[in-house]
Amino acid sequence: MLGNFEYCNPTKLYFGNNALNHLEKELIKYGPNIMLVYGGGSIKKNGIYDEVVKILKDNNKKVIEDGGVMPNPTVEKLYEGIEIARRQSVDLILAVGGGSVCDYAKALSVSIHCDDDPWDKYYLRFEEPSCQIVPVGCILTMVGTGSEMNGGAVITNHQSKLKIGHVFGEEVMPKFAVLNPEYTMTLPHHQMVAGIYDIMNHICEQYFSGTDNNTSDYISEGLMKSLIHSSRQAIKDPHNYEARSNIMWIATWALNTLIAKGKSTDWMVHMLGQAVGAYTDATHGMTLSAVSLPYYRYIMPYGLDKFVRFAENVWDIHDEHLSKEELALAGLKAMESWMKELGLVMNLTELGVNAEMVEELADATLVLDGGYKVLNREEIIHIFKESL
Ligand code: NZQ
Ligand code: ZN
């Protein structure tokens, strides 16, 4: 049975290799001051920066630059952006980049007019915005997080060793997003595959929970199958538009709130991964790939039927001689082979984690209760140790 829910996703999408042509009609809706938010320089190398600035200038916009957003954006960078924005009166924040840039833009949008400290208010107290919110638009260059069509904004505080995501409501979701699959073709291989695994895990986090047979699970299986197929094409031929465009579209649907509706969701792989991210600053998708299999093997007995369904419906494993446990494990094994095919990081040691850090990582892990098993501290330590 589906639970009760409200559903609204206000982000307008422009998809395809001419998607940037639509930017102009969005810009008309906003005042002249555009805060252009971007990362460490990839958009300057591949020419996207020049294209976007030209459109802004042609439309008589004033460009307020805020570059240098790092992967896993920090709270210090957020404070810096707030200062820049407060010196001007920003009408639109235009994020050009990956999930880090989009997340940062959303965190900024609720902080510019906020009287409280945004870290305390949004990331420690999880309060909702009570101030004016500056609109955000995204031009996506890295695929994976779904940030282009959701309210998530993950910020890292290195001082307190915490990486925390606040999922804001529809008033914070981007007003529009430009999705041109060609923009993702300059991504280095490890970023492309990290993004692919991030997508897979977003779907798994929403799939491995609950016991009902519901529409969401069928949509999830379709998305996973399409992702597995397209990812295999993309690693062989990164310039394959069919593959890259499908991956971009799957990423958006994997985390634009739709498949979570009416059911419980897990998110513990992300909580474990975020603790690792707070300590190591490692690439988000790789923190997930390093902890996933030990986590899923551990919780498998608590949600056995879903793991059997995963083996059968996602990996096409059908063998009447296998027990449920054997089938479920075969599904995870198939996922493991696919992960290795992609070239993902398969353990925490590769990310610089050692056995002495495990207790601290456990302290930094937020425990959620939507999955098949609510983990206690010993179980979290066990999973981290298994992931080394
Ligand atoms: O900074 P630049 O120079 O632009 O380089 C970036 C960055 O180094 C590079 N890149 C991006 N587009 C490129 C490119 N390089 C070449 N060509 C391009 N077209 O890729 C690197 C990684 O970018 P980043 O934005 O950090 O990656 P991603 O999209 O994976 O975002 C990661 C952040 O999003 C958060 C993560 O925790 C992490 O902080 N997440 C946000 C979520 C959400 N909003 O719902 C959910 C996710 O689970 C995730 O937690
Ligand atoms: Zn993720």
**Mutate-to-test residue for ligand 1 from 284, 288, 292, highest number of ligand atoms within 8 A of CB:** 284
Q: Is 288 left (phi over 0), alpha (psi -120 to 50) or beta?
A: alpha
Q: 353: CA distance to ligand 2 center in Å?
A: 19
**Mutate-to-test residue for ligand 1 from 9, 42, 267, highest number of ligand atoms within 8 A of CB:** 42
Provide the 10 A C-beta neighbour count for residue 112: 22
Q: 133: CA distance to ligand 1 center in Å?
A: 23
> Relative to the CA of 202, which ligand 1 atom is closest?
48
- For the residues 33-53, what does the mean pLDDT come to? 98
Which residue's entry shows tokens 């083996």? 311
Q: 14: CA distance to ligand 2 center in Å?
A: 23
- pLDDT tier at 387, thresholds 50, 70, 90: very high
pLDDT one-digit tens code per residue, 117-133? 999 999 999 999 999 99
Q: 198: CA distance to ligand 2 center in Å?
A: 5
Which residue's entry shows tokens 């190398």? 45
User: Helices marked H in 39-88 — which ranges?
Assistant: 42-45, 48-58, 75-87
Tell me if 273 CB under 6 Å of ligand 1. Answer: no
**Mean pLDDT for all residues in the chain:** 97
Tell me if 181 CB under 6 Å of ligand 1. Answer: no
Q: Do 104 and 95 touch, CB atoms closer than 8 A?
A: yes
Tell me if 72 CB under 6 Å of ligand 1. Answer: yes
- pLDDT tier at 211, thresholds 50, 70, 90: confident
Residue 212 has pLDDT above 90, yes or no: no
Residue 310 has pLDDT above 90, yes or no: yes
Q: What was the pLDDT predicted at 1?
A: 83
Q: What percent of the chain has pLDDT over 70?
A: 100
Tell me if 195 CB under 6 Å of ligand 1. Answer: yes
Q: 120: CA distance to ligand 2 center in Å?
A: 23
Tell me if 142 CB under 6 Å of ligand 1. Answer: yes
Among 192, 188, 200, CA closest to 143? 192
pLDDT one-digit tens code per residue, 332-383? 999 999 999 999 999 999 999 999 999 999 999 999 999 999 999 999 999 9
Tell me if 154 CB under 6 Å of ligand 1. Answer: yes
Q: 65: CA distance to ligand 1 center in Å?
A: 19
Tell me if 365 CB under 6 Å of ligand 1. Answer: no
pLDDT one-digit tens code per residue, 260-293? 999 999 999 999 999 999 999 999 999 999 999 9
Q: What was the pLDDT predicted at 213?
A: 80
